[in-house]
Amino acid sequence: MKFFADTADIEEIRELALLGLLDGVTTNPSLIKKSGRDFKQTIAEICAITKGPVSAEVVATDVEGMLREAAELTPIAPNVTIKVPLTLAGLKACRYLSEQGTMVNVTLCFSPAQALLAAKAGAAFISPFVGRLDDISQDGLTLIADILRIYRNYPQFNKTQILVASIRHPLHITESAKMGADVITAPPSIIKQLVKHPLTDKGIEQFLSDWAATGQKI
């Protein structure tokens, strides 16, 4: 499974890269707003840190606007991935960009039917939002299982990677991995939570205590 960082914070991205836990980055207008930085400059800096896909989201809602914005973003770096919403206009833009050789991340997916359309439009990534479904008392992970089942039925959809998004906690990551999802994108804080286990902490504490009792040094 690939790990993408869902952030526009440069220092957080650098830290994950140094840990070997960074395969790509996803951004969105909300994350750019939170960073308080220039959009294009931020994307350029992120692309310099990782060779993996870096999602830059368009804000236009019409096809022409999406393609115009994509034309501004794709020259920033070879690993820029254009992020479009799962609308008819977004799917049309996805088809055009994909045919031109541009990676496209189709975002805001909430149903298996939407994921099916994105794959047919040639998306490099489909981003189902598990946490937002959980927020309205639906099982977001069931959506991942359904998309996996559909894509596995049709070999021509193998090029569309399932990028699990809107991750709220580590269990979303491990359960998605057990199902075989291709990618997760999560805030760095959640990715780093994967290392946590009380028995690990307890074991380290015991080892250090026992070592101190020997009076030795390494």
Give tens-digit pLDDT for 15-33. 999 999 999 999 999 999 9
Catalytic position from the list 34, 51, 83, 202: 83
pLDDT, tens digit, 9 for 90 and up, residues 139-153: 999 999 999 999 999
Closest CA to 82 of 57, 100, 117, 112: 57
Task: Clarify whether 83 is annotated catalytic.
Answer: yes
Torsion over CA: 86, 49, 11, 40 (sign): negative
Q: What is the CATH number of the domain that holds 127?
A: 3.20.20.70
Threshold 0.85, pTM exceeds: yes
| Structural domain range at position 128 | 2-214
In the chain, how many domains are there? 1
Residues belonging to the chain: 218
What pLDDT is attached to residue 134? Answer: 98
Are 22 and 50 contacting, i.e. CB atoms less than 8 angstroms apart?
yes
What pLDDT is attached to residue 38? Answer: 95
